[in-house]
């Protein structure tokens, strides 16, 4: 007897990873229903809101602030959404809208290097993945082609031998952007210091691609690409819809219903008015980020026989060297992030201290530096002159470090409730000695930067760790169901028809932005489910 289902596959979360998985499934003729907690938004409306804001300092202030789908910060609902109970306060920048948080990202699209997948066997720390680089390489390539990734095929990311590293089966679909004058100057200084400055793979179109115009160098990639040159999650969702997937915005998933044989038989959702609906499918994919995915699983009491749901939460603990230098280099021209130094991304020292890479911000610092001058009592014509002088000499370099998966770093359920009566996330985060030892190495490099850039004024404390908005871990991948949540196919050990398309499955964090690896895994699991249905 056939059973009527709402869809072959329900995907919870309509961001970039959910969109890629949905398109893969829909293109194979499967019926796909995407559930998104937040609303649809239009680029032109967001752009108008951004233009009309008196302050441009917040990355998400002009995105919807809704009681039933709070974002990460900037309003009466979101300010109380995350509860921090650990030593490090962390409010990662998260949007709950169709398209997800990649509406306001910088589009860095990095591959992990092969050794990132086997930290335990090579260096005796962290965990190994139950898959290797070679298994993901074709999916990395496909993700780059779908999204239109630009990069340099000549760059060696620390692998040695003068060949592109990590290994590639195909060139980048697009060439890199021309370097801005600021990035050229920074690259020259890094080269003089003996570092290898390389292009950053990213999703800003350098030629017309997939209907996107060429990047014109607007500096506000985050919070919003004004012309749609940068690939964002809404574009992935649109591709899925064109392939036949359906999207339901303003639909908050709050319970996964278990049935016979451990299968998930339904997803229960709430509308903004609190009305509950039950939806059924043959397979369910959780494609919320690494905080909302474990939150839903914990609320539903699913997938947690290992007691690892919510645990092993990772980010990129970062140290920031932010100064005024002696020379006018004029940051803020061209994209806000372009190029990096990866010399410390891998190597034998990972057995003792965290690997990291250097990221060079090129954002416009006017607001930050003006506030500093006003606090010093500078006003009038002198203020105008000092703003121009200081902004031209602003330098911001981030040492973004890998973080090991620790069971103590976790998200669980708070006693507080949101507007729909659902528990809010409670977060415990800290850095360990592995990161602190990496920080000592970065600190020595910072001293070299002082001399090369002619540091005149230091603007912040270079020894304070800050956590990036890169959310990984919390439903960790592994071969052993006793110590992990999903297997190499991103299928939960406890439920044969429940998959996770999220960076929450990562068994290591690497030193680079996680989205490309998440995209590769999502495409791969989409193909796996399509074969099984």
Burial class (CB in 10 A: 0-12, 13-18, 19+), 177: buried
Q: Give 55's contacts (C-beta < 8 A, 6+ positions apart).
A: 61, 367
The rounded distance, in Å, linking the Cα atoms of 492 and 302 is 9
Cα–Cα separations (whole angstroms), residue 513 to 296, 390, 492: 24, 30, 24
Residue 430's SS3 state is: coil
Identify the active-site residue in 202, 316, 470, 493: 470
- Count other Cβ atoms within 10 Å, centred on residue 275: 8
Residue 101's SS3 state is: helix
- Count other Cβ atoms within 10 Å, centred on residue 145: 14
The secondary element (H helix, E strand) that includes residue 395 is: strand 394-401
The rounded distance, in Å, linking the Cα atoms of 245 and 251 is 16
Where helices occur in 14-167 by DSSP H, the ranges are: 16-27, 43-52, 119-123, 133-147
Q: Give 331's contacts (C-beta < 8 A, 6+ positions apart).
A: 182, 361, 362, 363, 364, 365, 391, 394, 395, 396
Read out DSSP for 166-206? Answer: S--SS--SBPPPPPPHHHHHHHHHHHHTT--EEPPPB-B-S
**289 flagged as catalytic:** no
Cα–Cα separations (whole angstroms), residue 365 to 187, 298, 311, 401: 20, 41, 36, 24
- Report the catalytic residues: 470
């Amino acid at each position: 007897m056939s059973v009527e289902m709402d869809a072959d596959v329900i995907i919870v979360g309509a961001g970039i990873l959910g969109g890629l998985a949905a398109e893969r499934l829909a293109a194979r003729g499967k019926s796909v229903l995407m559930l998104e907690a937040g609303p649809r938004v239009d680029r032109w409306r967001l752009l108008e809101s951004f233009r009309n804001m008196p302050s441009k300092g917040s990355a998400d202030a002009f995105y919807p602030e809704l009681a039933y789908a709070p974002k990460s910060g900037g309003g009466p609902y979101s300010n109380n959404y995350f509860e921090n109970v650990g030593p490090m306060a962390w409010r990662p920048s998260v949007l709950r809208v169709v398209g997800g948080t990649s509406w306001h990202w910088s589009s860095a699209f990095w591959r992990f290097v092969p050794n990132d997948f086997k930290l335990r066997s090579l260096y005796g720390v962290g965990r190994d993945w139950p898959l290797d680089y070679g298994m993901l390489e074709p999916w990395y390539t496909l993700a780059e082609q779908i999204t239109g990734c630009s990069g340099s095929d000549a760059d060696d990311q620390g692998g040695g031998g003068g060949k592109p590293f990590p290994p590639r089966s195909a060139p980048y679909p697009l060439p890199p952007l021309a370097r801005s004058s600021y990035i050229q100057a920074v690259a020259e200084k890094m080269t003089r210091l003996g570092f290898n400055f390389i292009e950053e793979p990213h999703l800003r179109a350098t030629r017309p691609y997939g209907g996107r115009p060429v990047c014109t160098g607007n500096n506000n990639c985050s919070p919003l690409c004004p012309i749609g040159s940068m690939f964002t999650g809404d574009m992935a969702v649109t591709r899925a819809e064109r392939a036949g997937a359906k999207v339901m915005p303003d639909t908050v998933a709050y319970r996964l219903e278990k049935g016979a044989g451990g299968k998930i038989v339904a997803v229960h959702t709430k509308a903004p008015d609190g009305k509950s609906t039950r939806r059924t499918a043959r397979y369910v994919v959780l494609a919320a980020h690494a905080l909302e995915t474990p939150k839903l699983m914990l609320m539903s009491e699913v997938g947690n026989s290992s007691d690892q749901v919510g645990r092993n939460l990772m980010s990129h603990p970062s140290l920031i060297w932010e100064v005024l230098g002696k020379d006018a280099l004029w940051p803020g021209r061209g994209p806000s992030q372009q190029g990096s130094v990866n010399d410390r991304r891998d190597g034998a020292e990972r057995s003792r201290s965290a690997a990291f890479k250097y990221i060079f911000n090129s954002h416009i610092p006017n607001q930050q530096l003006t506030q500093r001058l006003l606090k010093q009592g500078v006003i009038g014509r002198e203020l105008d002159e000092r703003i121009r002088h200081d902004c031209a000499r602003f330098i911001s370099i981030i040492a973004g470090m890998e973080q090991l998966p620790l069971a103590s770093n976790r998200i669980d359920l708070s006693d507080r409730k949101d507007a729909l009566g659902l528990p809010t996330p409670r977060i415990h985060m800290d850095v360990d000695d592995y990161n602190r030892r990496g920080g000592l190495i970065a600190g020595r490099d910072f001293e070299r930067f002082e001399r090369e850039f002619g540091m005149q004024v230091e603007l912040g404390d270079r020894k304070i760790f800050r956590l990036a908005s890169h959310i990984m871990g919390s439903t960790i991948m592994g071969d052993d169901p006793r110590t992990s949540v999903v297997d190499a196919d991103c299928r939960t050990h406890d439920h044969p028809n429940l998959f996770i398309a999220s960076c929450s499955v990562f068994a290591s964090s690497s030193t680079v932005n996680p989205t490309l690896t998440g995209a590769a895994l999502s495409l791969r699991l989409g193909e796996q489910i399509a074969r099984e249905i």
